[in-house]
A and B are shown apart, each in its own frame.
Chain A
Amino acid sequence: MGYINAVEVHNVVKSYNVGFQKIDVLKNISFSVKKGEFLSIMGASGCGKSTLLYLIGGLDQATKGTIILNGKNLNKLKENEQSAMRRREVGFVFQFYNLVPNLTIEENILLPLLIDGKSYRKNKSKLNNILKIIQMEDKKNRYPNELSGGQQQRVAIARALLFEPEIILADEPTGNLDSKTGSEIMRLFKSINKDFNKTIIQVTHSEEAASYGTDILRIKDGEIESKKSNFKTG
């Protein structure tokens, strides 16, 4: 029987030791994200929203609690399995794009596939399709530093989509963009969510960006303040 939840977060605690002081960034958080949901996580700086996103993506480990991603308990996955999961089942999009600077756009987009041992040639058509979606076919041989912020973010989204992962995690995807470009990027996310039925979890400060999501989770001081459906459409 297939899971209806893409992500389940159960009683997650994340603590850091700063000097002699222990700081609880996330305090016993539980929620779930359904498949096809577009969740926006909001909150003030330092409230723990990005930490939560990295925990969901398996880039960091929770101090306590369980995270289940596509039916798999992250705590029980070995490093290799977690890496494979990040390649195949999750796509990441970051505020500062995080493209590999010495690889071309084409190479950056193909990177998760190549890391997974897939053939470059066999995925060429897939690459061309995705370049068409992000409207950057003519820039595939450029390097990241030759592109604008918006273009770099589109490449990062393309990279996240290439493996056709079920879940896309985005950390402040419009945080480094002007409002016009930010809106374009959010519309792209919205269409990915709607047209390809992908689960998207984004962390954002922006009410406008959050409004593109189907649900909004608000965090305050490491605790869930609210989780509501968002009825407005972007």
Chain B
Amino acid sequence: MFVFLKYLVRSSFNKKGRSILLILTITISTALLIGCIGAVKSAGSVYKEEAVRAYKDNNVLITSKNTKEFPFFDLDSIQKHEFKSYIPIINASGYLSGADDVNIILTGIMEKDYSKLPNYKLLKGYLEPFNENKIIISDKVSRTFKLNINDTLRANVRGNEHVFKVVAIVETSGPFLKDNEHQFTIIANKDYIQDIWGIGDFYSGIVVQLKDDVDEKKYVQYFNLVNDECSARLVYDTEEIERIAEGMSSFFFFMLFIVIIMSCFIIYSCFKLIVLERMPVVGTFLSLGATRGRILRLLLGESLVYAIISGIMAMFLGAGVIYLLSDMGNDLKEYGIATNPNYNVGDFVGGFIFAILIAVFSAMAPIISIRKKQVKDIILNTIGTIHKNSYILLSIGLIISIISLYVNFQEGNVATNLSPLIFFSFVIGVTISLPLIVNLAITPFKYVFQEVNVLFRLALNNIRTSKVLLNNIRLLTISIVSVMLIASVSLSIVSAFLDVSQKLDYDIIVQQGNDSLRVSSIINNNLYVKEIMESYDYEYAEVVGSQETLNIKAIEPNKYINFNNYFDYTDKEELFLELDKRKSNIALSSSIARKLNKKVGDTLILKLNNREVDYKIIGIYNAKLYNNGDINLISKESIQRDFGIFVPTEYVLKGNSGADKLLNSLEKELKGTMVKIRTKEEIVQENIDNNKAFLLILLFFALATGFLGAIGIFNNIGVSFIQRKKDFAILSSLGMTSFNNGLIVLFEGIITAVLSSIVGGGVSYIAVNISNKLFKLMDIDFPVFFDFKAILIVGVAICVIMITTSLPVILKSSKLSVVKELRYE
């Protein structure tokens, strides 16, 4: 037993290069798995941290509905017997006098409530009595605007200047958490705010801590069901966060799956070689009476050695990946919310087990193949290394890929629903049948080069017949698919946003603030406004009888028809004509129609603002990336008539003297109303920036597959030379110079690069096509198109990789000892 163990440990690290390759492969795939799981969990922790810092023990936020023109409520109308504690608030807004670009949120609270503010920590000052124009500011604002106790702050509110006196400076948390140089909160006595805002004893919100025995989720549901004036929401909604994380994480896991397939393939190939190399020793052990079972356990033990080392390394690397991915996804860093990676012991243990499983299972097939070999062949080591094509297996691979393609090009939802399966079966099918494809591609050239260049011809023949060289094409093909998928998705996302900008006809969008009447008046009277289109957006509208929610956009159909040329419509004129009728009609985006399983002519019951109305589906269009494909149109008249929503969410404007003049004028006039004014270019850039982290993380996976592919190839080229040393020696004995031997290796590298680029390019072209349906399945219905420029770059990069990785072997081939390889004495 000891001898076997000693052999196991020694042989595991005999070939250092291969050991490193195996360890790196298992480590990278395991670390990415740990990283993905951890990062998805961490995504929520950032928002949780934000909620804790902003609201501490408060768990529900009640706000007046912004669908009303008077967005305030009477505190007595709210039932409070389930509240443990609460702070009623009144929010107004203005801007800092003398600094037009600094908005101020004026929050009014009762005098008795200031000490109940979440995370309240007084740093300087004295509040008693907290009345009149006295205000609390954050430490950050104090430092940014050099404001100290007893200093005054001048703010313009609804066109009038008001002077406030700083009486307290508190820690930058709770309501002050998001204070920055362009917008900050001040807290004053509610009577003062109500007075300057010109309303009576009304409030705009309540920060609530529910009693311990109250189910917060049920409370929110019930509250929203019975209240027309206000709505309640959880300050931290786990399900909502999970829903947001789910869309992106499914793509991460999809990419991870590609990395894992590649890793399995590398481990499998390495063990195939390990088994071949160990044959003489295995033969010796067998001849000494060792059982096959013991030999199998011995070789599986070798895979276990790699798995354990890699598993441990992956835990450390995985922790780094979790931090990196979490940090990339943390868009609240600017508010001082540190990345809080989720280091769950269970995930690390799971990762370790995964490392063992991936190593042992990938190594299993070549190891078990020993069972089929004759003991005599093992002892005499007469098992050949030449690739014998198993035409049945190759044909099965080809059939799998053809069936996958056939299903992919079928109409209807089948292809979409099966798209992940189609994707992987197609890629795996092609990978299996690759020797057949390569053989078919190479054979004609073999005859062409018969008369032209024997070295090239030999190189072609070697690629056709050498399993290791064929494996390089496999590795490169998988790498190309991964890289091209990511490059194409990235390019498509950016183009889709640019497409949105080109095909939506507007100059500026003004997003509603907290002073709707004033905003409406200013916009309607602005001299530079040529055309106004109001839009009423309602998120999470319910569909009675379905778990799905949808985003409703109420528009003016006669204007929207000219505004939106981005959607793919079947009959645009007809659709907007139907929406313009004084009926309850709705047009659905294709992803929502698919989710609801609805078609044109069907009806659904929409529930908005606690009102249920039957709507008829009069059209379906592809909204592509617009609001992630979830945008469903009804008319402005319908939303007002059926659901009593009268406040537009945004104004889509066209100017009569260009966008800049309109922008400058509106920015000036709408100061302090908390509106968000953005030009088309700003919106496009914002969308691209919002997706940067996502694209960066995808790039991370592409690099991982590229890196694994490159080290796999580097190893394979070395191995293929070692395996074929004798063949090169034979060629030398027949008069081949060592320079020409080196040229064969170089040609093999170049042919591999060209073939891989062609095959990988073709496979990735189809993979990108399938990914359209994959995105559709993830409810993102946008066209992913093949990045032809990227495939050229990838092709050149592969040529460079192949030539670079071939160079050490070319050098080795020049030092080949012919006698050593050929003589037997």
Decide if A84 is an interface residue (CB 8 Å cutoff): yes
Taking the complex as formed, is A145 at the interface, i.e. its CB lies under 8 A from any CB of chain B? yes
Question: Does A149 sit at the interface, judged by CB under 8 A?
Answer: no
B824 surroundings in chain A (CB, below 8 A): 95-96, 172
Asked if B735 CB lies within 8 Å of chain A CBs, one says yes
Q: Quick check: A87 and B735 within 8 Å, CB to CB?
A: yes
The interface residues of chain B lying within 8 Å CB-to-CB of A120 are 450-451
Contacting pair A86 B734 (CB below 8 A): yes
The contact of B733 among A57, A79, A95, A101, by CB within 8 Å, is: A57
Please tell me if B825 contacts chain A, counting CB pairs below 8 Å.
yes
Q: Looking at the assembled complex, report how far the CB atom of A163 sits from the nearest CB atom of chain B, in whole angstroms.
A: 9
Q: Which of A98, A114, A121 contacts B822 (CB 8 A)?
A: A98
Given contacts A60-B819, A101-B386, contact A86 B465 (CB under 8 A): no
Chain A residues in 8 Å Cβ range of B727: 100-102
Residues of chain B within 8 A (CB-CB) of A50 are: 823, 825
Given the known inter-chain contacts A83-B737, A86-B733, please indicate yes or no for A59 contacting B462, CB distance below 8 A: no
Tell which of B464, B730, B734, B823 touches A87, judged by Cβ atoms closer than 8 Å: B734
Closest residue of B by beta carbon distance from A55? B819
Q: B737's closest neighbor in chain A, by CB?
A: A83
Chain A: CB-nearest residue to B736: A115
Q: In the complex the two chains form, is A45's CB within 8 Å of B825's CB?
A: yes
**Does B514 touch A at the CB level, under 8 Å?**
no
Q: Does A73 contact B (CB under 8 A)?
A: no
Contacts of A107 in B (CB 8 A): 461
> Are B454 and A114 in contact, with the CB atoms below 8 A?
yes
Picked from A60, A114, A172, the residue with its CB within 8 Å of the CB of B818 is A60
Do A115 and B819 form a contact, CB below 8 Å, given A46-B825, A95-B824? Answer: no
Minimum CB–CB distance for B520 against chain A, Å? 80
Give B823's nearest chain A residue, CB to CB: A50
Q: Does B148 contact A (CB under 8 A)?
A: no
Q: Which of A99, A100, A119, A120 has the most CB of B within 10 A?
A: A100
Chain A 99-121 against B: per-residue CB contact (8 Å), 1 yes, 0 no?
11111000100011011110111
Q: Are A54 and B462 in contact (CB under 8 A)?
A: no
A19 to B676, CA, bound (A): 82
Complex: how many Å from CA A44 to CA B462? Answer: 38
- Cα(A59)–Cα(B735), bound, Å: 10
Q: Which residue of the partner chain A has the closest CB to B820?
A: A60
Q: Which residues of B contact A59 (CB under 8 A)?
A: 732-733, 818-819, 822
Tell yes or no: A80 within 8 A of B by CB: yes
Instruction: Chain A residues near B482: list those with CB within 8 A.
Output: none
Give the size range of B's interface with the partner: 20 to 34
A159 proximal to B (CB < 8 A): yes
Question: B603 in the interface, Cβ–Cβ < 8 Å?
Answer: no
Check if A189 is an interface residue, CB within 8 A of chain B.
no
Check: A198 CB closer than 8 A to any chain B CB: no
CB interface residues, B 739-754, toward A, < 8 Å: 740
Q: Say yes or no for A38: interface residue by CB 8 A criterion.
A: no
B734 with A111: CB separation less than 8 A: yes
- Are A98 and B733 in contact, CB atoms less than 8 angstroms apart? yes
Q: Mark B305-327, 1 if CB is under 8 A from A, else 0.
A: 00000000000000000000000
Beta-carbon contact of A171 and B823 below 8 Å: yes
CA distance A112 to B734 in the complex (A): 6
B495 on the interface (CB 8 Å rule)? Answer: no
Query: B731 in the interface, Cβ–Cβ < 8 Å?
Result: yes
Asked if B129 lies at the interface with its beta carbon under 8 angstroms from chain A, I say no
Decide if A83 touches B386 in the complex (CB within 8 Å).
no
Whether B819 pairs with A54 at a CB distance below 8 angstroms is: yes
Q: Is the CB of A79 within 8 A of B737?
A: yes
Contact check, A119 vs B451: say whether CB atoms are below 8 A apart: yes
Per-residue interface assignment for chain B, residues 422 to 457, with 1 indicating a CB less than 8 Å from any chain A CB and 0 otherwise: 000000000000000000000000000011001001
Known contacts A83-B732, A112-B735; A145/B461 CB under 8 A: no
Establish whether residues A115 and B734, one from each chain, have CB atoms under 8 Å apart when the complex forms.
yes
Min CB gap A141→B, angstroms: 13
The answer, yes or no, to whether B738 is at the interface (CB within 8 Å) is yes
Which residues of A have CB within 8 Å of B450?
114, 120
Contact B461 A92 (CB under 8 A): no
Is B98 part of the contact surface with A, judged by Cβ < 8 Å? no
| Residue from A46, A86, A145 within 8 A of B384 (CB atoms) | A145
Q: Report the separation of the CA atoms of residues A114 and B818 in the bound assembly, to the nearest whole angstrom.
A: 20
Q: Which B residues lie within 8 Å of A88 (CB)?
A: 735
With A94-B733, A115-B731 known, 14 other A-B pairs at CB within 8 A are A46-B825, A54-B818, A59-B732, A80-B737, A83-B735, A86-B732, A92-B733, A98-B729, A98-B730, A100-B727, A101-B386, A101-B727, A115-B736, A145-B384
- B residues sitting closer than 8 Å to A (CB atoms) are 384, 386, 450-451, 454, 457, 461-462, 464-466, 726-727, 729-738, 740, 818-819, 822-825
Chain A interface (Cβ < 8 Å from any Cβ of B) = 45-46, 50-51, 54, 57, 59-60, 79-80, 83-88, 92, 94-96, 98-103, 107, 111-112, 114-117, 119-121, 145, 159, 171-172
23 contacts between A and B (CB under 8 A): A50-B823, A57-B733, A59-B732, A59-B818, A59-B822, A60-B818, A60-B819, A83-B735, A83-B736, A87-B735, A92-B734, A94-B733, A98-B729, A99-B730, A100-B730, A101-B384, A102-B465, A114-B450, A114-B457, A115-B731, A115-B736, A117-B454, A120-B451
List of 4 A-B pairs having minimum Cβ-Cβ separation, nearest first: A87-B735, A102-B465, A86-B735, A114-B454
